Structure 1
Amino acid sequence: MKAVALDRFGGVDELSLRRLPLPEVGDDDVLIQVEFAGVASWDAVERKGDYDGVFGPSVFPYVLGWDAAGTVAAKGRDVTRFDLGERVYATTIPAPRGGFYAEYAVVEAEFVARVPDRLPTEQAGAMAWDALTALSGLDLLGLRPDETLMVFGASGGIGHQAVQLARHSGIRVLAVASGDDGVALARRLGADAVIDGRKDDVPAAAFEFAPGGLDGALVTVGGEIAERALRAIKSSGRIACPSGLLPAPVTSPGATMSYYDGDRSPTATDRLNAIIEASSFEVHVARTFPMERIKDAHRALNDHYVGKLALEVG
């Protein structure tokens, strides 16, 4: 199969397209013929070697890619939930069995889900980890309909999906986005109010949106502006931050701050799919790159863009 792989960790130039053997399919596995894979900021972190040994032994050639969508090419003898040829999306951790920057990838069946009929495969391929992380963050906050939420980083991968999931639950959303295009995206996706975190006075806008203070915040981007913005959260409120948030906060806000990991269980994907089928949910894919341009895709991670980047594999 064709795959993008590393022979050692390092810069963009370590990525190369080559032929690799098909992965072995265990009894509880699904072999996915990949059509689209997500390209995310953590892929670059992993490429550099910062996750070396964190999730298991690093086996070279090393194939990146944490989420993807395609069709079921084969399945283990204990897998009964999926049919051959069915459209699916999946989450994985590339170490040690390899990720989704390849024509085929093997994933434990519990981390595979059917693609909702109304969702294009390209969007599904770039969706899973971000959407499930957004959904888990909202679960942690536990906000009720008409309560107020600030999504900080609302035009990013996690953030623009969190805006839609929160609005589906009836939560009032203040979106802090990046750039005119980010503001336009968050507004189009249904945020009740949108501001540009690069230009606007975020705390002032937050208190205008919720004079008594916001009930909660989902923070996907760290830094000084985020820390100032969190002063607008009620002391009785909650703040959710995905694990690995960078830069990490220096000062503690008055509200309770919790770090968490995304739930990728069948229960979580079933809930996500139900929301997608019942709403106008979309994954905004800013750019899609062919496998031959994987280096350009990783360079683009350092550029300004909104939503997600994707790799076209199939």
Structure 2
Amino acid sequence: MTAVVLDRFGGVDQLSSRRIPLPGFGDDDVLIRVEFAGVGSWDAEERRGEFDGAFGVASTFPYVLGWDAAGTVAAVGRNVTRFNVGDRVYAATMPVSRGGFYAEYGVVEAEFVARVPDRMPTEQAGLLAWDALTALSGLELLGLRPDETLMVFGASGGIGHLAVQLARHRGIRVLAVASGDDGVALARRLGADEAIDGRREDVLAAAFKFAPGGLDAALVTAGGETAERSLRAIRNSGRIAWPNGVLPVPVTSPGATVSHYDGDRSRTATDRLNAIIEAGSLAVHVARTFPLARAVDAHRALEDHYVGKMALRVGPEAP
């Protein structure tokens, strides 16, 4: 199969396209013919080697990036009964140790594969899994009731713009802290009750205007000094959800409890996510789409300002 691979960790120039063997395929696996793969902000960190050894598994080369994708089922293992060849599916994987989705085919355990709801385009589904499941897990951890208040910090990013929609689906009042005029506009379009530019506006002042007695909770999807300072707006009895991998972590402890967590990518979680999608309440904002052969350009674009998430078109129709 054709894949974009790393033969060593480093800069964008280490990404190259070539033919490699199909990944190993077991009885509990699904082989997916990839049509679209997500390009996450963390892909650049992984490319540089910052995840090397992080999952207790030695990195091997050629190394294929790509944590989420959508396409069609090409084959199933003998123990897999939920999927048939040709089904349209999306999946979340971990590139260590069988490779990711910057490739024509990817192998994932059936537990972490889900059907694409009819109303969702395959391109959007290709960017969905990790970001939406991380947002959903964070909201479930916070356990907010309708009309309680939530600050989504990083609300125009991959996780954040989905968190805004999932929170509004639950009836939660959302203050979105986004980036740039386009990020603010996106957050408002997706249903945020209030949206501000965290790079130009006083987040604390906006938060206390939105919730004079303090916010009930925060979901932090982008770290840094502004994010840390903004947590002072959370009531001491409130809650803060901080996904593992969002850096830098707070240097000082806010008054509210901070819970660091991982996104749940199990079948139970994707079933809950699909029910929300089928209700018509979720859309993925695709920032830009690149053909697989231009993965280097996609990684360069990660360094620029954008909202939503980048995509790779992997299918044979790619220009």
TM-score w.r.t. length of structure 1:
0.99
Give the aligned partner of residue 135 of structure 2. Answer: 134
Specify the code of the residue in structure 2 equivalent to 1:6. Answer: L
Superposition map of 1:93-112 within 5 A: 93-112=94-113
Match of 1:267 in 2: 268
1:250 match: 251
Give the drift of 1:279: 2.4
Alpha-carbon distance, 1:51 to partner: 1.1
Q: Report the alpha carbon displacement of residue 226 of structure 1 after superposing the two structures with TM.
A: 1.0
Asked if 1:77 is matched to 2:81, the reply is no
Compare 147-156 and 245-254 and name the one that shifted more.
245-254
TM-score by length of structure 2 reads: 0.97
2:222 is matched with: 221
Partner of 1:36: 36
Which sections of structure 1, spanning at least 5 residues, go unmatched? Answer: none
CA distance in 2, matches of 1:280, 1:266: 20
Q: Any residues of structure 2 matched to 1:152-231 within 5 Å, and which? A: 152-231=153-232
Residue pair 1:32, 1:73 contacting (<8 A) in 2 also:
yes
Check whether the contact 2:24–2:98 (CA below 8 A) recurs between aligned residues: no
Check whether the contact 1:168–1:279 (CA below 8 A) recurs between aligned residues.
Answer: no
Amino acid corresponding to residue 84 of structure 1 in structure 2 = V
Distance (Å, rounded) in 2 between the aligned partners of 1:258 and 1:17: 40
Tell me if structure 1 keeps the 8 A contact 2:166–2:281. Answer: no
- Kept in 2, the 8 Å contact 1:36–1:310? The answer is yes
Aligned to 2:8: 8
Stretch of structure 1 that moved more, 105-114 or 52-61: 52-61
Q: Report the RMSD for the aligned CA atoms in angstroms.
A: 0.7
Give, in whole Å, the separation in 1 of the partners of 2:278 and 2:173.
Answer: 21
Partner SS, residue 106 of structure 2 = strand
Amino acid at match of 2:160: G
Q: How many residues align?
A: 314
Give distance in 1, aligned partners of 2:69 and 2:29.
15
Q: Is residue 2:34 matched to residue 1:25?
A: no
Percent identity between the two aligned chains: 80
SS at match of 1:159: helix
Runs (4+) of structure 1 moved beyond 2 Å? none
Preserved CA contact (<8 Å) 1:223 1:246: yes
Deviation, 1:57, is 2.1
Equivalents in 2 of 1:249, 1:300: separation in Å? 27
| Residue 280 of structure 1: how far off its partner (Å) | 3.3
What letter is aligned with 2:300? R
Give the letter for the 1:3 counterpart: A
- Tell me how far 1:248 sits from its aligned partner: 1.7
